[in-house]
Each structure stands twice: as structure tokens, then as C-alpha cells.
Amino acid sequence: RPIGNGIKAAPLPPYSHRSGGVLFLARLHARKRPLAFVEAAIRVLSHRPDTRFTIAGPDEGEGESVRTMIEQSRHGDRISWVGPVDPAKTDELLRDTRVFVLPSVGEVFPMTVLEAFSAGTPVVTTSSLGIAEKCEQYGAAVVTDGSAVAIADAIEEILASPAEAERLRLGAQNFIRAELSIDAVADRLLDAYALTQDPRRGDG
């Protein structure tokens, strides 16, 4: 039985005061698709030129391409790559972000998405995410086809609509409480272990 990661359930953090813009927080690896994030950022900036986009994460092969695309876009003042972030500071970063984007492919259960949920930050991701169906079921994230156009459209909708941002925040909280909290994961683990016990052995 698949057992996912868990995260501590907490009150929904405030949102309206946030000064951060749109965040990509992951390794700069082809699988994470940081170039799709930059392309989506360029599209959004053509309509919302004051939006700020931040790429946070170590280079694992895509760094030079990311840097080149940013330079060629002429949006270097609005799109920045800040490099690796101290894990102790990721929660603070997410709590000041208005939209978190994970455009990666083949992700099963990325903790950054759970951390964004916990931080009360609206999430945009792709249909290849292992929990994409659950995200849609709970209304916890905007699940796209992974194209830069779809990602840009989702970002713009969240930035333009406080109601949409709040819908996603509440959906994520419901998802955490129902299935992603430490307690919920522990209950599933206990159930799984119980099923493996042979009653003839008298295991309790």
C-alpha cells in the first residue's frame, strides 16, 4: 500500500500582506523544468510587468540555460535566480510568496508542494504529479498540462483573484487535515501494519 509523506497541520498563515511574488523552489534539473518556469514568467510579465519571479535552488544542469534565458528576456530586474536556500529558511520564503510553481515531470510526492500547502501558499503544478488527482479533488492546487502557457494562465488567475487564492489555500488545508497530516499518515501506517499481521501467530 502506498504511504505518502506527512506534514504537521497548523493554522492557515495570513496571505494578504505578502510581499513575495512567484516562486520556483527546486533543483535546477531538467526534470524540474526551471526553463518552463522562466518562459511562463516572461508571459505573465507581458501583462503584469510589476510581478516578481524568484528561482531558488542549486544548479543541477540547467543553471546556465536559465541564466541565458533570463538575460535574453530583458526581465532580469523581475526574474532572479538566488541559488540554493538554507532549508531552515524555506518556510519563511514560502510564507512570503503569493504563488508557488512546480512545473516538474514525473514527481511522485514532492515535499515542497506539501510545504507550500502548509505555508498557505497557492500552488500551480502539473498533471504528472503523483498527487495531482487528489489536488484536483480537494481544490488544493491548479493542475496544468505543464505547458508554459497553462502555467502562466494559472499564475495570472491567482494573482488577479483573491477569491481564487483563498479557494486554493482552503483546499490545501482540507487536503492536509484529511490525508497529509502526520496523524493521518500514522493512521495509514498502523492500518498497513495491522494487515500484515498473521492472527495465527498471536501478534498484537
**pLDDT per residue as tens digits for the range 61-89:** 999 999 999 999 999 999 999 999 998 89
Kindly indicate the confidence band of residue 18, based on its pLDDT and cuts at 50, 70 and 90.
very high
pTM of the complete model: 0.86
- Give CA torsion, residues 13, 19, 23, 26, to 10 deg: -70
Closest CA to 15 of 119, 107, 89: 119
Could you read off the pLDDT of 93-137 as tens digits, one per residue? 999 999 999 999 988 888 899 999 999 999 999 999 989 999 999
- For residues 61 and 33, the answer to whether their CB atoms sit within 8 Å is no
DSSP 179: I
3 state SS of 159? helix
Cα–Cα distance measured from residue 27 to residue 33, given in angstroms and rounded to the nearest whole number:
9
